[in-house]
């Protein structure tokens, strides 16, 4: 079955460390998204990509970076510049413009 795979499920970051969250999809979707979810704040868009080798900043891109070298993969790096990284991170994809029907299971990032 097609879907989105996020890994790891849990991740711990030490101060000053960069960490990378993986997102892989086998749905053949062009568009992929990264969201951050904090309690009571809903989904906030970090980055999105409409097509391979292209991506745009969302509302809260500072302290994060992404790449889109393959259609199937859209990894998110949380850099040491992100001072409050503790959150639940969700990857999503869509076949049509903004019509998101698939999310990954999420990665919970915590700071040691």
Residues 58-77 that bind other proteins (CB under 8 A): 58
Residues 72-111 that bind other proteins (CB under 8 A): 88, 90, 92, 94, 97-106, 108
- Asked if residue 11 binds other proteins (CB under 8 A), the reply is no
Which residue in the block uniquely carries the two structure tokens 């019509």?
99
Distances (CA, A) of 55 to 9, 12, 13, 103: 24, 26, 25, 18
The least CB distance from residue 20 to other proteins, in Å, is: 19
C-beta of 82 vs 94, nearer to other proteins? 94
């Amino acid at each position: 079955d097609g879907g989105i795979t996020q890994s790891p499920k849990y991740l711990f970051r030490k101060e000053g460390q960069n960490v990378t969250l993986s997102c892989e999809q086998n749905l053949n979707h062009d568009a992929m998204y990264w969201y951050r979810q904090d309690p009571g704040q809903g989904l906030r868009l970090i980055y999105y990509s409409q097509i391979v080798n292209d991506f745009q900043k969302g509302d809260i891109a500072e302290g994060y970076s992404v790449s889109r070298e393959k259609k199937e993969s859209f990894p998110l790096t949380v850099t040491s510049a992100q001072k409050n990284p503790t959150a639940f991170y969700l990857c999503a994809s869509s076949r049509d413009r903004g019509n998101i029907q698939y999310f990954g299971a999420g990665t919970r990032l915590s700071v040691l």
